[in-house]
Structure 1
Amino acid sequence: MKKIFVLSSMLCAFSLQAQFSINIQTEPGFNEKEAILYTLNGSKDIIVTKEKNKNNVWTFKYPKNYSGMMKVYFPTTNNSVSFISENKNVSIKLETKADKIQNVIYQDEANEVMSSIQEGSQKKELILPALAQIKEYYKDNTEFGKALITEIGKLSGTANGVDQAKHPFVYYYNTNYNKFLSNDPAKKVTKEEIVNFIDKSSDMLESSSLLRPILVSYLNVGGNTNVAASVDTLIDKLNVETPRGQTVLSELIDIFDVYDMSEFKTKYLKLAKDLKCTINDRLASTIKSNADTDLGAVFPAYKFNSAINTTAKSIADVKADKKVIVFWSSSCSHCENELPQLLAKYNDLKTKNVQVIGLSLDTDKSAYTTKIAAFPWVNDSELKGWNSSFAELYNIHATPTYFILDANNKIISKPNHVGDVLEYLKVK
């Protein structure tokens, strides 16, 4: 299961004069006290500030100009709502049930327009082909036939009839999504077009959520047989000493990590580490997270949330000659295949004084509880999925992910699969 998010010092440092505000309203039965506002930098969510519940309303004041994707996360109930800003006030009403968001009602114009366009795009992709097939069975002069022709005509229209002057971010996002990420074979773009776009684009590129998928597309254009040459061309064009170049470099390092392209990750991580210029926050966080979880590093400290099968309060408190740390999820198909293999050798591991510690990226308590009933090792979860603190702390991009530690919590191996774990510990 692939998953392809630095706490800012701005948490409470806003001026009283806001550039715009974000107003989130929920129903009275929604049991959440606090909410966290995020902006976006490439594919990384950046914490901006926190606000308390005031009569089921959260109001965030944003002090600067910002156009792009934003998110509000409710940590206790593990809900989130995504939206856009065009440097104007945002207003959202959430319909909830049993502390879960059931429906999002966008009440400001920009988000209404964006939501409508995305809904239309989904219908065009999923429903239009079905309607075209159904139409073959109805005559054009029947009531239903006429309705089909009307709906097909609507869905076949252009997805981006947006006034750029009125809604610059909506226009930017949909224009470039349709150009660079469309599944339409008639809309193929060249590597040169992608490089020029990334080089010349406005700052909305970083806040749009488009950067990573466009980079993945760039790496795959024409069945790319020389990834290093493509990356070098892009990096040279952008200049790795610029903020844009460093953000792209950071994204590429993460992409190589996600897709187990270790040779390329090593090469471009070294390029990042060797830079003599000022490093932006995004690249600095990538360098640090990789250094903290590299071979020979002491595994970063983590206090358990509600661990079972142990009285230890943290990973460091677990006493063993070696520790196997596994990041997993009950919805992960690869975990479903690999963890039973670990379970089958658990007694052999115990005789070698090896302890297994499972950290789950689940959100569903019932699914998590059912799964860990079969796992006799140490189990813990924040039940916050990819919003779990340890996902960022340990630079986790996919599940399962394994680390093997020695008795002093030093990382001595980073196996790719359970077979590698068992082979390293000589219990295979």
Structure 2
Amino acid sequence: MLKHLLFLLVLVPITALSQDSLFVKLNPQGAFDQISMFRINGAHQAYVTNAKSEDGNFKLEFPMDATPGMYRLFFDLQNGLFFEVLYNNETIAVEFDPSMPDDTAVFSSSEENKVYQTYIQQIGAQQYKLDSLQYAYFNAPIKQYIKEEYPKELLKLYELQDGFEKKAVGLMTLDFIKGNEKYYSPEIIESLEDYMLSMNEHFFDYVDFSNDNLTSSSFFIDKVIEYVFYMNSAEDQETDATLKKQVIAIAMDKIGDNNKVKNEVISSLIYAFAQQQNIELVSYIEENYYKTQPQEFQDERFLKQIHSMIKIAVGMTAPEITWTENEVEKKLSELSEAEKYVVVFWSTTCSHCLDEIPLFYNYSESLPNVKVIAVALEEDAIGFKNQIKTMPNWINVLGLDKWENEFARSYDINATPSYFVLDSDKKILAKPDTFEDVIDYFSE
């Protein structure tokens, strides 16, 4: 589950009259002292409440008018770590290890979550058995035993699924259990290629994109993310992009005319590819799916956020940098004296920079047809004026206000030194993390 790829949109807080409670115990204790609860609605989430630790225990109150559905518990907001529960007008009590919440969660209260958690654990174990048999079959020297075992384990899976569906009758959990069912061929499949084709063809067989309970959770988004990113990928970048365009089209077709779900999925895919700095697929989904939606499902603020995320991605034109030489304004975009350029952000208040920048300057002298634009992020010009005397062959730009400098903001700089390698058209070719990476880039 690509949890870290989901984005946060905080809406108006829900009314704070309490009804049912959610008790959380983190084991081991002490790692986190606060939990925040959000109501999930597709790709969006609305803040509900938070609670501080009391001897390692947390008590959160559901509002009186809280709607049944999926709720997300952030115990580490900074790193986006969370655990999800199903709420259906009942008290919930759960204990888990925050380092692996999905695998360690134990519910002592809440029939909805007890049934669903047990289902996930038991069905997952049985699916693993079937998958292991199928994969072992491809390379097994003697295949008959596996061929005979496979239908036996498949029957156990069917019985397990049927048993949980009966147990969940009358519960909201039933919709999630049905949606999580996974297709398996009645007989073992002979080749890996046919197996992957079968998995792709039947991936959405049990997903009802019109189900209201699933719509107001992250279920559909998680499913499509799994299908696009994990079920379908290739090592070659061009092949991977082509493959993902094909499977995105399949997913959109499966969703059909449900514009709300389609919008949530499209937005999540755009955000996920933006996080990966994948300009091609961000642009492809935006033009072919996002902008073809009804106007009510398009949000300029969302697109602005996405464009801001990818503005310094590899392949994009570097943001403009301006400076003055002999009372004449100069621009990065107008430079034409080199085949490649390196923009480096540094500071005289950064001890690491004071060690590394002189080394980079000496190294850059050995690079023909490469010009360096060094932007010093400073609170004043004193140190800058002294230091640039040792770097006469660079274009030295003073960026006052340090982190709040316009160039620092446009390049999303939060650490120095930061490097950007550009081509002659000022398109970003690479973003080396260290000086050693700069050397590796030019050595290659």
TM-score range, shorter chain: 0.5 to 0.7
State the Cα distance separating 1:166 from its structure 2 match. Answer: 2.4
Q: How far off its partner does 1:106 sit?
A: 0.7
Q: 1:30 aligns to what SS in structure 2? A: coil
Matched, 1:245 2:257: no
Q: Distance in 1 between matches of 2:46 and 2:440?
A: 37
Identity %: 11
Partner amino acid for 2:360? D
Deviation per CA, 1:259-308: give whole Å up to 9, x if none. Answer: 77643321222353576723467x95465133344256879xxxxxxxxx
Partner Cα distance (1:243, 1:17) in 2: 30
Answer yes or no: is the 8 Å Cα contact 1:181–1:214 preserved in 2. Answer: no
- Which structure carries more relative contact order (alpha carbon 8 Å, separation 6+)? 1
Question: Per-residue deviation at 1:130?
Answer: 8.8
Q: Secondary structure, in 3 states, of the residue corresponding to 1:14?
A: coil
Q: Is the 1:8–1:47 contact (alpha carbons within 8 Å) kept by the matching residues of 2?
A: yes
1:30 maps to: 30
Is residue 176 of structure 2 the alignment partner of residue 173 of structure 1? yes
Partners of 2:43 and 2:264 within 8 A in 1:
no
Shift in Å, 1:43 = 6.0
Q: Distance in 2 between matches of 1:246 and 1:322?
A: 39
Contact 1:35 1:58 in 2 (8 A): no
Q: Match for residue 227 of structure 2?
A: 217
Deviations 1:93-146, CA, capped at 9 Å, x for gaps: 43779x998954312222211221122123324468999x9xxxxxxxxxxxxx
What SS does the aligned partner of 2:112 have? helix
**What's the CA shift for 1:207?**
1.0
Mapped to 1, the partners of 2:205 and 2:125 lie a distance apart of 31
In 2, are the aligned partners of 1:95 and 1:104 still within 8 Å (CA)?
yes
Counterparts in 2 of 1:246 and 1:129: CA distance versus 1, 3 Å: closer
**Farther-moved stretch of structure 1 (39-48 vs 216-225):** 216-225
Q: 1:32 to 1:50 in 2, by over 3 A?
A: same
SS of the residue corresponding to residue 123 of structure 1 reads helix
Do the aligned residues in 1 keep the contact of 2:233 with 2:243 (CA within 8 Å)? no
Name the one with the larger helix percent: 2
Structure 1 counterpart SS, 2:161: coil
d(CA) in 2 for partners of 1:29, 1:46:
27
Q: Contact 1:7/1:47 (CA < 8 Å) preserved in 2?
A: no
Structure 2 unmatched ranges of 5 or more: 137-151, 190-194, 235-239, 321-341, 347-354, 365-371, 378-411, 413-417
- Could you say which structure has the larger radius of gyration? 2
In structure 2, do the counterparts of structure 1 residues 33 and 354 end up closer, same or farther at CA, with 3 Å as the change threshold?
A: same
Which residue number in structure 2 is paired with residue 415 of structure 1? 430
Per-residue deviation at 1:44?
Answer: 6.4
Q: Distance in 2 between matches of 1:226 and 1:31?
A: 41
- Residue pair 1:84, 1:110 contacting (<8 A) in 2 also: no
Q: Secondary structure at the match of 1:278?
A: helix
Tell me whether 54-63 or 231-240 shows the greater mean CA deviation. Answer: 231-240
Please give the residue correspondences for 1:133-212 in structure 2 after superposition, counting only pairs within 5 Å: 157-160=159-162, 161-163=164-166, 164-168=168-172, 170-179=173-182, 188=198, 194=204, 197=207, 199-212=209-222
Q: Secondary structure at the match of 1:84?
A: strand
Map of 2:281 onto structure 1: 264
Post-superposition shift, 1:249?
1.4
Query: Aligned partners of 2:97, 2:204: CA distance in 1, in Å?
Result: 41
Q: How many residues align?
A: 320
- How far has the Cα of 1:243 moved from its partner? 2.3
Distance in 2 (alpha carbons) for counterparts of 1:28 and 1:234: 40
TM-score w.r.t. structure 1 length? Answer: 0.53
The residue type paired with residue 413 of structure 1 is I
Structure 1 unaligned residues grouped into runs of 5+? 134-149, 300-319, 325-342, 358-393, 395-401
1:37-116 equivalences under 5 Å are 37-42=37-42, 47-54=47-54, 56-62=57-63, 63-68=65-70, 70-74=72-76, 82-94=83-95, 104-107=105-108, 108-116=110-118
Partner of 1:307: none
Per-residue deviation, residues 13-61 of structure 1 (Å, max 9, x unmatched): 523154x432224589636442111344546666443223356332232
How far apart in 2 are the matches of 1:122 and 1:348?
A: 52
Aligned residues of 1:66 and 1:87 also touching (Cα < 8 A)? yes
Contact 1:40–1:209 (8 Å) recurs in 2:
no
What is the TM-score with the length of structure 2 in the denominator? Answer: 0.51
Which of 348, 361, 385 pairs up with 2:360?
A: 348
The structure-2 alpha-carbon separation of the partners of 1:239 and 1:122, relative to structure 1 and needing over 3 Å to count, comes to closer
C-alpha deviation, 1:426, in angstroms: 5.6
Q: Would the aligned equivalents of 2:224 and 2:251 in 1 still touch at CA under 8 Å?
A: no
Q: Is the 8 A contact 2:34 2:51 kept in 1?
A: yes
* Paired residue type of 1:348: F
Q: Does the C-alpha gap of structure 1 residues 173 and 403 become closer, same or farther in structure 2, counting only changes over 3 Å?
A: farther
Residues 266-345 of structure 1: matches in 2 within 5 Å?
266-271=283-288, 272=290, 277-279=295-297, 284-285=301-302, 287-294=304-311, 295=316, 322-323=344-345
Range with bigger deviation, 207-216 or 122-131? 122-131
